[in-house]
Amino acid sequence: MGEIDRIAEIMHSYKQDPRYLLALLLDIQESENHISTEAMRAVARYLGVSESRVYAVATFYRTLSLKKKGRKIIRVCMGTACHLRGSAAVLHELEKGLGIKVGEATEDGKYTLETVNCVGACALAPVVTCGDDSFGRMDPAKAAELITRGAFE
């Protein structure tokens, strides 16, 4: 089943009512790991709203992305405690080890690297998360080891 077919299936699971715009976009994001231009146009037509309204919603919420994301999101906390304890160096090591910059996905589509303002685990700073897993008291060497041993798999 292609992307267009999956999007059509998702759209048809909702009534053609503009109040379902965000829910529809969230389901498309979950299915496709991003919201494509084609998906936004199709949603606009289906719900009878302007493309600019769909774009406004898709770009307002941080959880939605117009760029394809990896299947797993690796997040580096950049909050005050993490920053003071070296999260920038941890981020740099992850960028180097994964071969991507913040906001990009690996070529194989496995990972996307992001930063967040705070994960709420300041006592464990600096913190890296991937899915439901958290890795505390990180440093560049530990970050490199996480990649090497496949801890994000």
Residue 65 maps to a domain: no
DSSP letters, the chain, are --HHHHHHHHHTTS-S-GGGHHHHHHHHHHHHSS--HHHHHHHHHHHT--HHHHHHHHHHSTT--SS---SEEEEEE-SHHHHHTTHHHHHHHHHHHHT--TT-B-TTSSEEEEEES--S-GGG-S-EEETTEEE-S--HHHHHHHHHTTTT-
Q: Which of 15, 36, 60 is the last residue of a domain?
A: 60
* 13, pLDDT greater than 80: yes
Question: Is the domain of 107 the same as that of 136?
Answer: yes
Question: Is the domain of 97 the same as that of 37?
Answer: no
Residue 23 maps to a domain: yes
For the segment 81-140, what is each residue's pLDDT rounded down to a tens digit?
999 999 999 999 999 999 999 999 999 999 999 999 999 999 999 999 998 999 999 999
Question: What pLDDT sits at residue 62?
Answer: 83
Question: Is the domain of 45 the same as that of 99?
Answer: no
Structural domains of the chain, count = 2
* 1, pLDDT greater than 80: no
Residue-number span of the structural domain to which 137 is assigned: 72-148
For the segment 58-96, what is each residue's pLDDT rounded down to a tens digit?
999 988 999 988 999 999 999 999 999 999 999 999 999
* 146, pLDDT greater than 80: yes
Average pLDDT over residues 6-33: 95
Question: Is the domain of 77 the same as that of 55?
Answer: no
Given pLDDT bands bounded at 50, 70 and 90, which one contains residue 2? confident
Question: Is the domain of 77 the same as that of 143?
Answer: yes
Question: What pLDDT sits at residue 81?
Answer: 97
Question: What pLDDT sits at residue 114?
Answer: 95
Question: Is the domain of 12 the same as that of 55?
Answer: yes
Residue 16 maps to a domain: yes
Question: What pLDDT sits at residue 105?
Answer: 93
